[in-house]
Amino acid sequence: MSERAAPFYCPYCGDEDLRPNEQGHGAWECAACNRAFQLKFLGLLARGVQRTNNGGGNEI
């Protein structure tokens, strides 16, 4: 896995012109709407992946 995951678009305006921000790890700035934001990975959920069987015939 890469050390830094990059967002695909700005969460405020949806534009794709993003650049890393100087504020630190996970900080990004959008050139289109002139906003800065930070992404943070919180961790994995304790429940994990749940499989459901909806009766469609394609069971995993």
Tokens coding 46 = 């304790």
Q: Which is more confident, 51 or 33?
A: 33
Q: Work out the angle at residue 19's Cα, subtended by the Cα atoms of residues 37 and 9, and round it to the nearest 5 degrees.
A: 65
Q: Tell me: the pLDDT tens digits for 3-36?
A: 567 899 999 999 999 999 999 889 999 999 999 9
φ, ψ for residue 36 (rounded to 5)?
-120, 145
> Is residue 44's pLDDT more than 80?
yes
